[in-house]
Amino acid sequence: ELIARLLVDVERGVKAEVSYSEALEFRREQYDLTVKEFSFILGVERSHYNEIINGKRSITLSLCRAAAAVGVPMEILLSKNTTQD
């Protein structure tokens, strides 16, 4: 679904609006990792990762660095659509 949305946006010349939770999950699935494995790589507890994905926690600077290191674009990690209240 995410790839299809990105392709449509690219064809239209629209900048994609992808949340960091979508980008994190996309990257995790690309690497075929479990939540436990991916959260370990990112340096957070599995429950913390799940709270981030479910919008209950904001992403931290250290998690941004770790996510960027595994290929999540920094533009997505730091974009306005990543702000959560």
Q: 7-11, 58-62, 68-72: which range is least confident on average?
A: 7-11
CB-based contacts of 59, cutoff 8 Å, min separation 6: 20, 52, 67, 77, 82
Crossing angle for the helix pair 20-30 and 2-12, to the nearest 10 degrees: 120
Q: How far apart are CA 21 and CA 9, in angstroms?
A: 19
Is 80 exceeded by the pLDDT of residue 35?
A: yes
- Residues 42-51 have a mean pLDDT of 96
Contact 66, 43 (CB under 8 A): yes
Is 90 exceeded by the pLDDT of residue 81?
A: no
